[in-house]
Amino acid sequence: MIQTPEPASGTTSRQDEEFRAEVRDWLAQALNGQFRELRGLGGPGREHEAFEERLEWDRALAAAGLTCLGWPKEWGGRDATLAQQVIFHEEYAKADAPSRVSHLGEELLGPTVLAFGTEEQKRRFLPGIRNVTELWCQGYSEPGAGSDLAAVSTSAYLDGDEWSITGQKVWTSLAHLADWCFVVARTEKGSSRHHGLSYLLVPMNQPGVEVRPIIQLTGTAEFNEVYFDNARTAADLVVGAPGDGWKVAMGTLTFERGISTVGQQIRYARELADLEDVARKNGTLENAVVADRFDKAWVGLRVLRAHVLRTLESGHDGATVDARTAAGSASVTKLLWANWHRDLGELAMDVLGAPGLIADAPGDDLNAWQRLFLFTRADTIYGGSNEVQRNIISERVLGLPREARP
Ligand SMILES: Cc1cc2nc3c(=O)[nH]c(=O)nc-3n(C[C@H](O)[C@H](O)[C@H](O)COP(=O)(O)OP(=O)(O)OC[C@H]3O[C@@H](n4cnc5c(N)ncnc54)[C@H](O)[C@@H]3O)c2cc1C
């Protein structure tokens, strides 16, 4: 019998338990009341579900003081401890609360502005993220610059008191819904690789920005091509020094998928338990090979959880250990969850068998298992592909010979 992993260890101080009760009560009340229809909606592969309602949900969370928990109080956060942030994500996932629409601002741009931004940038942007009045997207990847981000060719130059930006980004998640984009652009003519880049904050709603949706395997369009054609942003909306954007861009990546992975595992455990129910009902669980794959999945989830908690508790997120160890831990985490989730999608298809080939949800739509199977192919790509993670571990952490560079 598969069980949801127990709460993280070390989270039992009185304040922590009071905090847990506050979060649990608020979620129970909201998800049994005004937001009852939103349980379980959204998330990777399902971002199209109830967007407006989930936006309202995020704003209700903000009004209750439950967004940006780890931020300093002066910027609307709660100075929440690591343990409290873990508690929040655990309770959030256990309550089957909807996927957040403002996560790119809260988890990526906000921490970046806190770490590298000016006081004026903090005043301008943090309240909009904290209160979910402005949504963000991430303008890194380009047709010729994905894994090799230093090949960015989108360019920008100062034209009076504004930057003029021209170029193309691709795979830009939620750009069609975002108010702002954090863009890595080449601002020093003739520069190459990670030199001469800047980290610009660019408003999306302007004539120089065109967003073209990319339809995915799942039939929905969560990411986009974004074309900048003399797009404009104010001269002071560069985070860090002009030309020093690589450092800032890498800083953002260290915030990607931190504490929220704890809640992610609870969602994974629920998916695994639901799939086990399907397998029990249709008899496939009696097949020893299938049963063995369920066992392996259960063990894999425990390994993932142990690794993530150890990483967070020992400051391997970059707070107290050297950059090499932090990079290695982050890459192991990424490999563990991405492969685990992709394998679950494959297991789901094998459990469903031939009926899994038919789109049988209302409107001939894909059902949740089919969506999971198709979208989890992307898990091993975004946030750094499997191959790139293995390169980091082998070259930067283990010190193996570097692969030949072009
Ligand atoms: C669902 C999803 C959402 C995304 N959202 C965003 C977003 O919001 N913003 C954004 O900027 N980007 C986003 N991306 C883009 C993502 O970051 C890139 O897809 C990723 O970095 C890989 O880049 P690429 O697609 O250009 O592939 P490439 O870098 O061209 O890689 C192609 C293949 O070659 C392999 N490869 C590349 N280099 C090496 C190497 N040195 N050694 C061995 N193998 C190698 C890769 O692993 C991959 O299998 C998203 C992607 C997905 C799938």
CA-to-CA dists, residue 406 to 215, 300, 403, angstroms: 32, 36, 10
pLDDT of residue 5: 46
Q: Sorting pLDDT into bands at 50, 70 and 90, what band is 2?
A: very low
Tracing tokens 């598969």 back to the chain, one arrives at 2
Confidence check: pLDDT of 271 > 70: yes
| Closest C-alpha residue for ligand 1 atom 37 | 147
Ligand 1 atom nearest 148 alpha carbon:
29
Helix (H) or strand (E) holding 15: helix 14-32
Does the C-beta of 394 come closer than 6 Å to ligand 1?
no
Contacts of 165 (CB under 8 A, 6+ apart): 154, 155, 156, 183, 185, 200, 202, 208, 228, 230, 231, 232, 233
In the predicted model, is pLDDT for residue 34 greater than 80?
yes
- pLDDT confidence of residue 335: 95
Residue 155: DSSP 8-state: E
Centre of ligand 1 to C-alpha 335, Å, is: 14
Rounded Cα gap, residues 114 and 246, in angstroms: 17
Tell me the pLDDT tens digit for each residue of 366-392.
899 999 999 999 999 998 999 999 999
Is the CB of 168 inside a 6 Å radius of any atom of ligand 1? Answer: no
Looking at residue 322, its pLDDT comes to: 75
Q: Considering the entire predicted model, what is its pTM?
A: 0.93
Task: Report how far ligand 1's centroid is from the alpha carbon of 148 (Å).
Answer: 8
Contact 86, 11 (CB under 8 A): yes
To test the pocket of ligand 1, the residue of 47, 102, 385, 392 to mutate (highest count of ligand atoms within 8 Å of its CB) is 385
Q: For residue 365, what pLDDT band results from cuts at 50, 70 and 90? A: confident
CA of 239 to the centre of ligand 1 (A): 24
Q: Which residue has the tokens 């109830």?
A: 50
Distance (Å) from CA 122 to ligand 1 centroid: 30
In a mutational test of the pocket of ligand 1, which residue from 171, 222, 392 has the highest number of ligand atoms less than 8 Å from its CB?
Answer: 171
Q: Is the CB of 375 under 6 A from ligand 1?
A: no
Q: Whose CA is nearest to atom 29 of ligand 1?
A: 147
Classify 138 as helix, strand or coil.
Answer: strand
CA distances from 270 to 40, 98, 163 (A): 11, 14, 47
**pLDDT level of residue 46 (50, 70, 90 thresholds):** confident
Q: Is the CB of 252 under 6 A from ligand 1?
A: no
Residue nearest to atom 26 of ligand 1 (CA): 146
Indicate the average pLDDT of the chain: 92
In this predicted model, what pLDDT tens digit does every residue of 150-197 receive, in sequence order? 999 999 999 999 999 999 999 999 999 999 999 999 999 999 999 999
Nearest CA to ligand 1 atom 23: 146
Q: Of the candidates 8, 20, 31, 29, which has an alpha carbon nearest to the alpha carbon of residue 69?
A: 20
Res. 7 pLDDT band, cuts 50 70 90 = very low
Protein residue with its CA nearest to atom 51 in ligand 1: 382
pLDDT at 260 > cutoff 80: no
Tokens for 396? 């930067």
Place of tokens 């379980």: 40
Share of the chain above pLDDT 70, in %: 94
For 383, counting Cβ atoms within 10 Å of its Cβ (0-12 exposed, 13-18 middle, 19+ buried), the class is: middle
Is the minimum distance from the CB of 171 to ligand 1 under 6 angstroms?
Answer: yes
Give CA angle at 36 (35, 40), nearest 5°: 95
Residue 43 Cβ inside 6 Å of ligand 1? The answer reads no
CA of 383 to the centre of ligand 1 (A): 8
**Please, which residues have CB within 8 angstroms of residue 258's CB and are 6 or more apart in sequence?**
107, 312, 317
Which segments within 204-290 are labelled E, that is strand? Answer: 209-214, 223-234, 238-239
The preferred substitution site among 107, 382, 393 for testing ligand 1, maximizing ligand atoms within 8 Å of CB, is: 382
Q: How many CB atoms lie within 10 A of CB 338?
A: 21
Is the Cβ–Cβ distance between 397 and 323 less than 8 Å? Answer: no
For 241, other C-beta atoms within 10 Å of its C-beta total 12
How many alpha carbons lie under 13 Å from residue 188 in its C-beta half-sphere? Answer: 15
The pLDDT value given to residue 11: 47
Expressed in angstroms and rounded, the spacing between residue 372 Cα and the centre of ligand 1 is 20
Query: 381 in ligand 1 pocket by Cβ < 6 Å?
Result: yes
Could you tell me if the CB of 378 is within 6 A of ligand 1?
yes
Q: How many whole angstroms from its chain centre is CA 199?
A: 19
| C-beta atoms surrounding 64 within 10 Å | 14
- Judge whether residue 1 has pLDDT over 60: no
Could you give the C-alpha distances from 369 to 45, 285, 346, 357, 390, in angstroms and in order? Answer: 11, 17, 9, 11, 28
Catalytic residues: 256
How much is the average pLDDT of 14-32? 97
Does 88 score more than 50 pLDDT? yes
pLDDT of 10 strictly over 70: no
DSSP three-state, residue 166: strand
- Written as one letter, the residue type at 281 is K
Confidence of residue 404 (pLDDT cuts 50, 70, 90): confident
On the question of pLDDT at 317 being above 60, the answer is: no
Query: Could you tell me where the DSSP H helices lie in 47-203?
Result: 51-63, 82-94, 103, 110-116, 119-130
Q: In angstroms, what is the span from residue 275 Cα to ligand 1's centroid?
A: 29
Atom of ligand 1 nearest to the CA of 44: 1
378 CA from centroid of ligand 1 (Å) = 9
Report the share of the chain in percent with pLDDT over 90: 78
The pick from 142, 220, 339, 381 for probing ligand 1's pocket by mutation, whose C-beta has the most ligand atoms within 8 angstroms, reads: 381
Backbone φ and ψ for 212, nearest 5 degrees, come out as: -115, 120
Please tell me the predicted confidence (pLDDT) of residue 320. 59
